[in-house]
Structure 1
């Protein structure tokens, strides 16, 4: 079963192409299923679209869902088009997000932490002049927030769980093993999957999210895994799928998962 559950398109303001372009790219890549998972609107403000280059506008989500469902019907028998969405996890707005997204028939939702302490995880300047102890505190807080997102019950998949290394590769060497293990245990207990996200190659860190050492620990704790390219242009759909599958088998995983109508589907590696 070849699938890619993490793709974006023009509505988020920082991706190229429309939904059909990504579906066609999935067919060209030999995918049996493709998930469309653009960023939700930002629901932490009364404004229609306070961050137009990050999130779609509130008025766009209904049209987004309608378009995906229409294309799902059009492409039935050629490729399974899954309705997903990627949502930031903001604890203070979690219930607002939950209520806003509840009316839509998502096959799955990806929960991603893109900010901690009000600063983007990709802002490399946030690490400037921090003591070693403070760096550990920030990393532990990041993993704690990911664990909280798993416990929220909102998500089937957690996105790019060490993406904080993206523009700060030294993040990987900050020692926070206990916090990581506690987070992975929580994820396993909650039955949520983590994605292997190949978009790390587009950042300073290179490689995938998460790193192999995290995947090894995830395997030990029985965490489910899935695949997402996090494509922001159609040419990246399915990117490195075969290499990821091979590496997961080497680590010891026997299966990975995808979701339909929020129900876990198991596929052999």
Structure 2
């Protein structure tokens, strides 16, 4: 069975195409399941659109939900369309987000850390003036936020857990193995999955998130895995799905999961 849980569309302001384009692309690629998971609004603001070109407007969220559910019904029997969302994780705000998501029949919520200390994880300039000790501290802080996101109970899967390397490949060489292991143990204990996200190939680092080394540690600690292309163009739906499946089997995984009504559906590899 082929599935892709991480997709975006034009509402977020930095992706191409409408939701139906992604569904049709998934069908053409032979997928049985496609999850729609655009960037959620920033809910902790009185403004309707405080993050243009990053996330959808608050007023668009009910329309987003309605459209996904309509398309789920329209394509029943052709492909299973799942209602998801990619949610930023803010340690002090997640309960506000939960209150919004609880209004709707979500199949899954992806929790992603996109900022640390108010700076985008993709901002390569954040590293320029840091010495080795400071870099280690920043990397450990990033993984502590990911551990917190797993503990909060809001998310079924966690997005691109080493994406800080996206525009700063040297991130992978910053020593923080103990912090990563601790975070993976928390994720396993909370029963949350991590995604293999193939959008790294669109960034400077190339390849996928997370690294093989992290996936090997995840297997050791019993962390479940899922798949997401993080497609911002319909043509990237399912990108490298077969290669990821092959690599996971080489590492030692025997299954992965997707989510229906927030419950994991186990798919053999």
What TM-score do you get using the length of structure 2 for normalisation?
0.99
Counterpart mapping for 1:50-65 below 5 A: 50-65=50-65
**Shift, 1:229, TM fit:** 0.1
Q: In the TM superposition, what whole-angstrom CA distance separates every residue of 1:55-78 from its partner, at most 9, and x where no partner exists? A: 100010101000000000010000
1:116 equivalenced with 2:103 (yes/no): no
**Shift, 1:22, TM fit:** 0.1
Gapped runs of 5+ residues in structure 2?
A: none
Q: Take 1:181 and 1:196, find their aligned partners in 2: how far apart are those partners?
A: 17
SS in 2 for 1:91: coil
SS in 2 for 1:265: strand
1:104 equivalenced with 2:92 (yes/no): no
Q: What's the counterpart of residue 16 of structure 2?
A: 16
Q: Take 1:255 and 1:100, find their aligned partners in 2: how far apart are those partners?
A: 32
Q: CA RMSD in A?
A: 0.5
**Shift, 1:194, TM fit:** 0.2
Counterpart mapping for 1:70-109 below 5 A: 70-109=70-109
**Shift, 1:44, TM fit:** 2.2
Q: What's the counterpart of residue 192 of structure 1?
A: 192
Q: Take 1:255 and 1:94, find their aligned partners in 2: how far apart are those partners?
A: 30
Q: Take 2:268 and 2:238, find their aligned partners in 1: how far apart are those partners?
A: 17
Q: Take 1:92 and 1:152, find their aligned partners in 2: how far apart are those partners?
A: 11
Q: What's the counterpart of residue 218 of structure 1?
A: 218
1:242 equivalenced with 2:242 (yes/no): yes
Q: Take 1:107 and 1:225, find their aligned partners in 2: how far apart are those partners?
A: 16
Runs of 4+ in 1 over 4 A off after TM superposition: none
SS in 2 for 1:259: strand
Counterpart mapping for 1:86-235 below 5 A: 86-235=86-235
Q: Take 1:161 and 1:172, find their aligned partners in 2: how far apart are those partners?
A: 12
